[in-house]
C-alpha cells in the first residue's frame, strides 16, 4: 500500500514515510492509494476478536508486511493498549433504548485521542530505532514532534511520546484557553523530552504556526519535524478500529450473529462531535471499507464550518470579531477543519473520476480558501456526500441542557463535547423519525470523546442545581486528585510568531543536549 498527497504532487510514499513526515511536502495530507475492502468472511471471522486482535486485522490491510512485520505490529498494538483502564479499550454503553455511548476516554489522559496517540508514539519509536539500527553511517535518526492543541491532543500526544527514544515533543496551546485539568495534564509531565509552549493567541494561531514550521523546508530538514495532530495518517488509521468494534459489540449485546439476516437489518448511525473532522473521517473509511453504516452525523458547536458546508456546499471561514468563538466544548473551537481536506479529495475524485485531477482540484480549493476565505463545491457532489453524512450544530445552552437531562433522566454524566454529539443525535433521530431499537432497526451511537472530569466548569454549570450532586465524589477520577497542585514545566510565548516558536524549539533542543 502506497500513500499519496491530497494535493497531487506526492504519489508514492510508503506507510513509514507518510507517518514520519506527517504533512506532505506540497502541503497536502496523506491518503492511501486505495481503500482496502474487507475479507469476504470478515463478519464471522472477526466476530469474537478483542480490540487488539481487531486492530491487527484492520491495520494489516493498510500496512504492508515489508513495512512492519505482522509479529512486530501485533507487539506495537498490544503495548499501545495495555495502558487503557478498560478490558474492552473502548466499551459501548447503552444509555437508553436505541441510544448508545461509545466511551473513548479510558486511556491515560481520559480522552479519545489516546486511542490513536498511544499507537503513534510507539510507531515513531519503532521506526526510529529501526533506522538507527540499519544506518551504517552512524547517523542518529531523531524526530522533533511539533503539534498544536485546543486541549486533549496535547496531553494525549505528551503521554504517547514521553520518554520515547529519539523523540522530542513540542506542544503549543493557546494560553488560558484550555481547561485547568487539560493544562495540568500537559504541563505536569516533567520528562526531559517534553516541552509545553503556552502561546498568546488562539488555537488557530497555534495550528497556523505548526503548518508554517512544517512548510519551512530548511527548519524541517534541520530538525526532522513530525506531526501528531490529526493530520497524521496513523491517527486516522487507529481510529477506524473502534467503529468495527462498536459494530460487533452492539450485535453481541443483541445476541445477533453478525453474518445473519437479522444483523443485516440493524442500521448503525454514528453521531460524532467533531471540529477537525478526524474522528468522523475514520468512520468514513470504515464505511468505504464495507462496514454497514447508515449515517455519519457531524455534530459541531457554534464554530460550525462543517455544518454550514453540508447545508450550503460552501466551505467558508466565519469569525466572531476575527477570532474563533469560545464555547463550552473547546476541543472543537476551530475556524478551519484540518482533516476535512481528505474528504474533499474523495469528493473531487468522484467529480473528476481521476486521481491526479482530484489533487489539482483540492489544491485549487485550498488556494481559494487562503485568498478568499471560502470555496464552493458542486452541489451534486455535496448531495452525494449527504447520502452518508448528516450534520447538526449545537449551542452552548443546548450543550448544558444535554448534560443536565442525561444526568437527571439516565444518571449518565456527559462531558460537553459528548453532549454535543448526544444532543445532535437525539435531534436528528427526532427530525427523521428514526425507529430506534428495540422497536425499530436504528441504533444511534454517540462517541464520548472525553471524561466529564476534564471539563468541570461546564459539568458543574449544568448540574449546579441538582440536589445532592457533588463533582468531587461523583465525577472526579482518583488520577485527577491533586493534579492541579503538581510541579509544572511550561514556556510562555508572548505572541503567535513562527520565528519566536522556532527560537524556543532550538533553545530547548540544546538544553536536551541535542546537536544540530
Average model confidence (pLDDT) across the chain = 95
Higher pLDDT, 444 or 137: 444
Q: Calculate mean pLDDT across residues 280-290.
A: 99
pLDDT at 22: 86
Q: Identify the pLDDT of residue 360.
A: 98
Kindly report, residue by residue over 23-82, the tens digit of the pLDDT: 898 999 999 999 999 999 999 999 999 999 999 999 999 999 999 999 999 999 999 999
Digit-coded pLDDT (tens) for 119-175: 999 999 999 999 999 988 878 899 999 999 877 889 999 999 999 999 999 999 999
Q: Is residue 334 pLDDT above 90, yes or no?
A: no
What is residue 363's predicted lDDT score, i.e. its pLDDT? 98
* pLDDT at res. 342: 98
* pLDDT of res. 46: 99
pLDDT at 135: 86
pLDDT at 322 over 70: no
Closest CA to 351 of 317, 359, 35: 359
- Structural domains of the chain in order of their starting residue, each with its CATH number: 93-104+235-474 (3.40.50.1100)
- Summarised one tens digit per residue, pLDDT across range 84-111 is 999 999 999 999 999 999 999 999 999 9
Which pLDDT does position 192 carry in this prediction? 96
Share of the chain above pLDDT 90, in %: 89
Q: What is the residue whose three cell numbers read 494489516? A: 60
Cα-based distances in Å from 207 to 227, 270, 295, 380? 11, 28, 30, 32
* pLDDT tens digit sequence for 335-376: 899 899 999 999 999 999 999 999 999 999 999 999 999 999
Q: Is the pLDDT of residue 319 over 70?
A: no
What pLDDT, in 10s, does the model give residues 249-259? 999 999 999 99
**pLDDT band for position 481 (cuts 50, 70, 90):** very high
Nearest to 150 by CA among 178, 114, 169: 178
Joined grid coordinates for residue 53: 486482535
Q: Among this protein's residues, is 357 annotated catalytic?
A: no
Answer yes or no: is pLDDT of 423 > 80.
Answer: yes
Cell numbers representing residue 246 in the block: 462498536
pLDDT at 320: 65
**Residue partners of 315: CB distance under 8 A and separation at least 6:** 305, 309, 340, 344, 365, 369, 374, 375, 376, 377
5 pLDDT exceeds 90? yes
Query: Could you tell me the end-to-end alpha-carbon distance of the chain, in angstroms, rounded to an integer?
Result: 33
pLDDT of the residue at 95: 99
The structure's pTM equals 0.94
Extract the C-alpha cell encoding 459.
459539568
Check residue 371 and give its pLDDT: 95
Inter-residue contact 180 to 153 (CB < 8 Å): no
Q: b or e along 194-226 (b: 16 or more beta carbons within 10 Å of the residue's beta carbon)? A: bbbbbbebbbbbbbbbbbebbebeebbeebbbb
| Active-site pick, 48, 94, 96, 113 | 113
237-251 per-position pLDDT tens digit:
999 999 999 999 999
Q: Which of 66, 61, 59, 56 is nearest to 14 (CA)?
A: 66
* Residue-wise DSSP of 416-455: HHHHHHHHHHHHHHHHTT--BTTTSSEEEEEEE-B-GGGG
Amino acid at each position: 500500500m502506497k500513500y499519496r498527497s491530497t494535493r497531487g504532487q506526492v504519489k508514492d510514499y510508503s506507510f513509514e514515510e507518510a507517518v514520519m513526515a506527517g504533512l506532505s511536502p506540497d502541503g497536502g495530507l496523506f491518503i492511501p492509494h486505495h481503500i482496502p475492502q474487507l475479507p469476504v468472511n470478515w463478519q464471522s471471522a472477526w466476530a469474537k476478536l478483542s480490540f487488539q486482535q481487531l486492530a491487527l486485522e484492520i491495520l494489516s490491510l493498510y500496512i504492508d508486511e515489508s513495512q512492519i512485520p505482522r509479529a512486530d505490529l501485533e507487539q506495537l498494538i498490544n503495548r499501545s493498549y495495555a495502558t487503557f483502564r478498560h478490558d474492552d479499550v473502548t466499551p459501548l454503553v447503552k444509555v437508553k433504548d436505541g441510544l448508545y455511548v461509545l466511551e473513548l476516554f479510558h486511556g491515560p489522559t481520559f480522552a479519545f485521542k489516546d486511542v490513536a496517540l498511544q499507537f503513534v508514539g510507539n510507531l515513531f519509536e519503532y521506526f526510529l530505532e529501526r533506522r538507527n539500527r540499519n544506518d551504517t553511517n552512524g547517523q542518529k535518526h531523531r524526530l522533533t514532534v511539533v503539534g498544536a492543541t485546543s486541549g486533549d491532543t496535547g496531553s494525549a500526544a505528551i503521554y504517547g511520546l514521553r520518554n520515547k527514544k529519539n523523540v522530542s515533543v513540542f506542544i503549543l496551546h493557546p494560553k488560558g484557553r484550555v481547561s485547568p485539568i487539560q493544562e495540568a495534564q500537559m504541563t505536569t509531565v516533567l520528562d526531559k523530552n517534553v516541552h509545553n509552549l503556552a502561546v498568546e493567541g488562539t488555537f488557530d494561531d497555534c495550528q497556523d504556526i505548526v503548518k508554517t514550521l512544517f512548510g519551512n523546508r530548511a527548519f524541517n530538514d534541520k530538525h526532522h519535524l513530525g506531526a501528531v495532530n490529526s493530520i497524521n495518517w496513523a491517527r486516522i488509521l487507529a481510529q477506524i478500529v473502534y467503529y468495527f468494534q462498536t459494530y460487533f459489540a452492539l450485535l453481541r449485546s443483541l445476541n445477533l450473529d453478525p453474518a445473519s439476516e437479522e444483523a443485516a437489518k440493524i442500521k448503525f448511525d454514528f453521531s460524532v462531535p467533531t471540529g477537525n473532522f478526524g474522528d468522523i473521517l475514520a468512520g468514513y473509511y470504515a464505511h468505504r471499507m464495507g462496514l454497514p453504516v447508515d449515517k455519519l452525523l457531524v455534530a459541531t458547536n457554534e464554530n460550525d464550518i462543517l455544518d454550514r458546508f453540508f447545508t450550503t456546499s460552501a466551505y467558508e471561514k466565519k469569525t466572531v470579531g476575527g477570532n474563533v468563538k469560545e464555547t463550552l466544548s473547546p476541543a472543537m473551537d476551530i475556524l478551519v477543519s484540518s482533516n476535512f481536506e481528505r474528504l474533499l479529495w474523495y469528493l473531487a475524485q468522484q467529480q473528476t473520476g481521476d486521481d491526479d485531477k482530484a489533487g489539482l482540484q483540492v489544491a485549487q480549493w485550498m488556494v481559494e480558501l487562503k485568498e478568499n476565505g471560502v470555496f464552493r463545491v458542486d452541489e451534486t457532489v455535496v448531495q452525494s456526500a449527504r447520502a452518508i453524512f448528516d450534520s447538526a450544530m449545537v449551542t452552548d445552552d443546548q450543550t448544558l441542557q444535554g448534560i443536565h437531562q442525561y444526568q437527571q433522566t439516565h444518571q449518565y454524566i456527559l462531558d460537553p463535547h459528548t453532549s454535543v454529539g448526544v444532543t445532535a443525535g437525539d435531534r436528528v433521530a427526532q427530525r427523521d423519525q428514526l425507529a430506534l431499537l428495540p422497536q425499530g432497526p436504528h441504533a444511534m451511537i454517540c462517541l464520548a470523546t472525553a471524561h466529564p472530569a476534564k471539563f468541570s466548569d461546564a459539568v458543574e454549570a449544568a448540574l449546579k442545581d441538582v440536589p445532592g450532586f457533588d463533582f468531587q465524589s461523583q465525577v472526579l477520577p482518583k488520577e485527577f486528585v491533586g493534579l492541579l497542585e503538581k510541579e509544572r514545566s511550561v514556556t510562555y510565548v508572548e505572541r503567535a510568531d513562527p520565528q519566536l516558536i522556532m527560537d524556543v524549539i532550538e533553545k530547548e533542543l540544546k538544553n536536551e543536549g541535542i546537536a544540530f
